[in-house]
Structure 1
Amino acid sequence: MKINKRASRALAVTAGVAAALLAVTGCAPGNNTVAAQPTGTVSTAAPTSDITIKIMDETGFPVTSNLTDEFTKQYPNVKFDITRDSFQNLLANTPRLLAGADAPDLIRQSTIGTTVKDGLLTNLDPYFNAYGWNKFSAGQLAGGRITADGVRGEGSLYQFGIGFSVTGLYMNKTIAGQVGITGMPATVDELEADLAKAKAAGVLPIQTGMQDGVGTFVLQALINQYGDKQKLIDWMFNKPGATINTDAALQGATKFQDWAKAGYLPPDVNAINYTTMVSNFTSGQGLFMWDGNWDAANVDKGLGTGNAEFVLMPPATAGGKHVAMGAGNTFTIPAKSKNADATAFFLNWIATNDKARQIVVDVTGSSPGGDPTAALPTVASGSLIEAALANSAKVAADDGFVDFMANSTAGIYQGSLQPNEQLLLTDKMTPADFLTATQAFYEKDLAAK
């Protein structure tokens, strides 16, 4: 996911908000099957020799640069070499990078795929024990756990999150006022009524794109509001027998297609990518945009502070609990890392050092994670980052965080969701056929493990 520029900071996050938002959850780790522990002991001492930690990161995720700069100020003997590539290229090339003789020490890895089975990642359980990461809320690390059988959410820890995201709706308040919308919708039906009102006034209701699959945010936000979220979590975490062919998914996919048919999406939606979507919205094109907290500062800058709202996707029924996509921006330590202990020390520092935690909030708008009793970062009063942190608190309080469908298998984002949603939005595939195709690809991808 793409992250944007640093926001100013002026107001401390309230204790109640922070305590809730740090409880990022999917489902708690289990102890059924645990992969083999790495041999030998680990060190939690600060590195003392002159070393260079190599990081392979995602283009548009500058927080690692800010964090490494600060870390080197505190530990001058440690330098960093950061290489970046697109999200899509990282998905495709990570196994090769991990297996190479010149593997990085830390790599942005959103999807584990077969890399644990293939022995390409460092098992982080010894660091979990040595650093006392049991003080973190269990849900923070759940998505980074995997069993020997490939089931996520349980077993040993392999991924560590740098900032925890939350997704929702950005609304252009100027456009809302022009079409007679005075408040944010409280239900899906109210949201749909606002979309119709915008369309009737000649305004684009939804700014989104499907060239690179970013419209999946809209689809999943709808699916999240129908049925039992645990069924979707089980599917994304690869539980045996889990399926996307559910009533909730059918309702969501049908609604998504209906919105396209009604003209609520851009007419050239399949030609719009993520960057263009955000640029279009921040230039005043569209009433709503489905996106994450990582664009809070960007929207504030583009539309001006106070001219946008960032709220959670409304539930299907009034007063219902909030369900939203949210996950850590996850990194792994390759098994071939030459500086595993120092890299783990760096990760622990990000979650525990006051300056590092402030950097995570300033640059990403995300919760820094870590111990819920840790000192609280500060944010600018009235900013969208402040709203994003409050939204995280609401979802956490409702136990409503779910992972992203795109992380379900290593290939499903580019191989199935992106191309088939393009067909769905152009009425060339029925919602039922879309789900059947998604499940078929999912099972094929998992069978390749």
Structure 2
Amino acid sequence: MRRLRALGATAAIVAVASVSACAGPGGEAPATDASPTNVRTDVGEQEATVTLFTAAGLEDYQQALADAFMKKHPAITVELQVEADNNYNTVLPRLLASDSPPDLALVGDLSGAVRDGLVTNLDAYDAAYGWSEKVPASVLDAGRVQGGEIGSGSLYVGGGAAGPLAGVFYNRDLAEKVGMTKIPQTLDEWEAVMATAKSMGITPIVASNADGLIGHLYNLLLGDYMGAQSVLDVAWRKPGASLDTTEATEATARLQKWADAGYFNTDANAINQDASYGRFAAGEGLFMVQGTWMTQSLPKSFDGKYGVFPIPPVEAGGPPISMTANTLAFSIAARSDHKDSAALFLDFLTSPEAAAVATDNGYPAANATDQDPLTLDADVESQVQAGYAAVTASDGFFTWIQNSVPAVNTDLPAQLQLLISGKAEPEDVVEHLQKSYQSGL
């Protein structure tokens, strides 16, 4: 897997079935129309220049997407407008409100952009191109906004589905040593492997919690117990959504149980992400729960010596789940002069050609072809793609609860540190996070 800076940049920035012919006469949709209905799909041979606003860390990846699109539609030029990663979210709203906005951009504060009329309602394009039939709902719904709430209503983000996959990494040599011959099918099976590793003097899970990154495992457990949609409801601030549930408490208790059993390195609260990467690559632990962005940080000498699979479900046959952030999705500026051409680019992002560019740049994609089965002995690139495909099929993608309100993002690391050090009970952690969530709302 190519170790490109794009994976890290994504985290820094973020957060009708058939293709119709011409929907009506005329040229491009008017630049001032934020909710076009008279859209065209037959613009592939009309000359146009479409600008795509991107962060520097994603430049190589998005240039490759632009090149692939222009190869298919040579009449349309896609030009990148590149901004430093740390300035991207600050600069974007001003650009979208200007008289010369970029046509396409990855919008961080989508709800605010819709409220301020900065992005185009894509419902007519969705109907014309059939995006709702091509893209998993758990991915596409992240681009829907209604009444300021994300997750339902009109579509403001279009494109395909690709992005990092959060899951369970394992050391192949240690897995063989403890007798793990197949991917665990339930949390109980996975826990049994951990118990065997612990009994053999092998640290089951290398964790870094000085920076709160045991939170990846915690979010996955929440997804397992609560269900992906319930976690999304919290992250998207749906009315009535709550973390203070029996299922959330059970997920928290599971994490506490593993901490009490010594399944994490004893200094988990004292080390950070980089240190944990080094320990995992040095063979100091069987598992590590992270996102596939980790592959760019592991030493090349460790290539071929590790694999990854989605976290097992609570019950056998349960749906595979994972957190992700979409890298094949963009909004069209409300003031864009080339909405139809920009929408054609968004439709291209749902294609196997775009998926191939994503996978070449280290991102698994929903429309990738030639997927190998998810097995313990497959190479890691195949495992990443197969795991992403499995979560796509189950519609099991969600996002981190830290993305719900700033207070949860701030409080979660401290609460998890208290939990795994035995200074807080699961009920207390869940109650505290719910209060933080409620105050943030």
- Separation in 2, partners of 1:100, 1:265: 51
Q: Do residues 246 (structure 1) and 238 (structure 2) align? A: no
Q: Which secondary structure does the structure 1 equivalent of 2:258 belong to? A: helix
1:165-197 per-position Cα deviation (integer Å, ceiling 9, x unaligned): 443212111122334444433322232232233
- Give the fraction of aligned pairs with identical amino acids, expressed as a percent: 30
Which position in structure 2 is the counterpart of 1:333?
A: 332
- Separation in 2, partners of 1:421, 1:61: 35
**Structure 2 segments unaligned to the other structure (5+ residues):** 6-32
Q: 2:64 aligns with which of 60, 63, 66?
A: 66
Structure 2 CA distance for partners of 1:281 and 1:112, relative to 1, 3 Å: farther
Listed as ranges, the matches of 1:35-434 within 5 Å are 38-39=35-36, 41-44=38-41, 45-46=43-44, 51=49, 53-57=51-55, 59=57, 62-73=60-71, 75=74, 77-85=77-85, 104-109=102-107, 112-137=110-135, 139=137, 140-150=139-149, 152-165=150-163, 166-227=165-226, 229-270=228-269, 272-274=271-273, 277-278=276-277, 280-293=279-292, 303-305=302-304, 307-326=305-324, 328-329=326-327, 330-337=329-336, 340-352=339-351, 354-369=352-367, 377-378=369-370, 382-397=378-393, 399=394, 401-406=396-401, 408-409=403-404, 411=406, 414-434=409-429
Deviation at 1:128, TM superposition (A): 1.5
Read off the aligned partner of 1:384 and give its amino acid letter: V
Read off the aligned partner of 2:434 and give its amino acid letter: Q
Say whether the 8 Å CA contact 2:36–2:121 is kept in structure 1: no
Q: Which secondary structure does the structure 1 equivalent of 2:184 belong to? A: coil
**Structure 1 segments unaligned to the other structure (5+ residues):** 7-35, 370-375
Deviation at 1:3, TM superposition (A): 8.4
Q: 309-318 or 239-248: which moved more?
A: 309-318
Say whether the 8 Å CA contact 2:50–2:103 is kept in structure 1: no
Deviation at 1:154, TM superposition (A): 1.6
Read off the aligned partner of 2:128 and give its amino acid letter: A
Over the aligned positions, Cα root-mean-square deviation in angstroms equals 3.8
Q: Do residues 439 (structure 1) and 434 (structure 2) align? A: yes
Deviation at 1:111, TM superposition (A): 5.8
Structure 2 CA distance for partners of 1:439 and 1:304, relative to 1, 3 Å: same
Say whether the 8 Å CA contact 2:34–2:117 is kept in structure 1: no
1:205-239 per-position Cα deviation (integer Å, ceiling 9, x unaligned): 22333455443220022222325554334333332
Larger Cα-atom Rg: 2
Deviation at 1:303, TM superposition (A): 3.0
1:140-163 per-position Cα deviation (integer Å, ceiling 9, x unaligned): 41222121251x332111223553
Say whether the 8 Å CA contact 1:395–1:401 is kept in structure 2: yes
Q: Which secondary structure does the structure 1 equivalent of 2:161 belong to? A: strand
Structure 2 CA distance for partners of 1:202 and 1:433, relative to 1, 3 Å: same
- Separation in 1, partners of 2:220, 2:343: 34
Read off the aligned partner of 1:387 and give its amino acid letter: Q
Read off the aligned partner of 2:78 and give its amino acid letter: V
- Separation in 2, partners of 1:276, 1:61: 28
Q: Which secondary structure does the structure 1 equivalent of 2:83 belong to? A: strand
Structure 2 CA distance for partners of 1:83 and 1:277, relative to 1, 3 Å: farther
- Separation in 2, partners of 1:377, 1:445: 42
Q: 216-225 or 232-241: which moved more?
A: 232-241
Read off the aligned partner of 1:284 and give its amino acid letter: G
Whose relative contact order is higher, 1 or 2, with alpha carbons under 8 Å and at least 6 apart?
A: 1
- Separation in 1, partners of 2:151, 2:421: 35
- Separation in 2, partners of 1:342, 1:273: 45
Q: Which secondary structure does the structure 2 equivalent of 1:68 belong to? A: helix
Say whether the 8 Å CA contact 1:296–1:384 is kept in structure 2: no
Deviation at 1:39, TM superposition (A): 4.8
